Amino acid sequence: MPGDTMITYSKERQAELVARYDAVKARIDAEESQAPVLLLAVGKLKPASDIQILYDHGVRHFGENYVQELEQKSKLLPGDICWHFIGGLQTNKCKDLAKIPNLHVVETIDSLKKIKKLQECRAKYQPDQPAIKCNIQINTSQEDQKAGLTSEEDIFALVEFCLSEHASHVQLAGLMTIGSWDTSHEDTGENKDFAMLVEWKKKIDARFGTSLSLSMGMSADYKHAIKQGSTEVRIGTDIFGSRPARSEAHIL
């Protein structure tokens, strides 16, 4: 059962993490947001004990990038955590993801093939769990190394699938972008990647009658993101500190 393993942690780490989390939360609350903003705690490559600390502090939404790490953590940690998968999505991993009962959102949908796989596997392995919420990832900076869609045709096709009767176990929730590193580190007024994601939301909402959420903003750029209409910021470093190399990360 999830959460059966006793996960322990030190008082020092607890004090540190709670202080860092509360500081980020306070900075978010101080921004002039247009809508409520979810603070997603991104614990990738950090031990399960770090997540348990914030869980005990009342946090329920956590983000992970690697399917195997998410599977392991979801088995160790409490079953009422709302997991967000925010890593690069591969079709052959959709099955493992769909099996995780408390998988709440997949934020990195970038093809019809992958969302159909999630739908099919959720129906097969977890038919009684809630539908997986899905965000369409848009490559707003159009960088080759970034995942995400760029063409209206592809984006509309995904939306249409989600709104069809075929999508009984996946549910369109919002849009997500990472944006270019350079843009997020320039201290100019408006971030053009975030502005573009807002434009996509307007276009899709107007055409399909949806009301999409906007997952945009990370440690380096979340303040701009909130000003521009973000409804979810994904924060790793500012909460948990810098991450170890993947080869050195440990869950327990």
Ligand X SMILES: *Cc1c(COP(=O)(O)O)cnc(C)c1O
Binding site for ligand X (CB under 6 A): 42, 44, 65, 86, 178, 218-220, 234-238
Using Cβ positions, the residue closest to ligand X within the complex turns out to be: 236
CB of 108 to ligand X, least distance (A): 7
CB of 243 to ligand X, least distance (A): 7
Distance CA 138, CA 200 (A): 9
Distance CA 44, CA 249 (A): 9
Give the residue with the Cβ less far from ligand X, 167 or 198. Answer: 198
Give the residue with the Cβ less far from ligand X, 117 or 234. Answer: 234
Three-class DSSP labels, 152-221: HHHHHHHHHHHHCCCCCCEEEEEEECCCCHHHHHCCCCCCHHHHHHHHHHHHHHHHHCCCCEEECCCCCC
CB of 87 to ligand X, least distance (A): 6
CB of 33 to ligand X, least distance (A): 18
Single-letter code of the amino acid located at 169: H
Report CA dihedral (55, 58, 64, 70) to the nearest 10 degrees. 40
- The residues, any chain, with a CB within 8 Å of residue 3's CB and separated by 6 or more, are 76, 77, 78, 79
CB of 166 to ligand X, least distance (A): 27
Cα-based angle 116, 122, 123 (whole degrees, multiple of 5): 90
Q: Are 179 and 101 in contact (CB under 8 A)?
A: no
Q: What are phi and psi of 73, to 5 degrees?
A: -65, -40
Give the residue with the Cβ less far from ligand X, 45 or 121. Answer: 45
CB crowding 188-199: b at 16 or more within 10 Å, else e: eeebebbebbbe
Give the residue with the Cβ less far from ligand X, 148 or 167. Answer: 148
Give the residue with the Cβ less far from ligand X, 93 or 234. Answer: 234
CB of 164 to ligand X, least distance (A): 28
Give the residue with the Cβ less far from ligand X, 86 or 167. Answer: 86
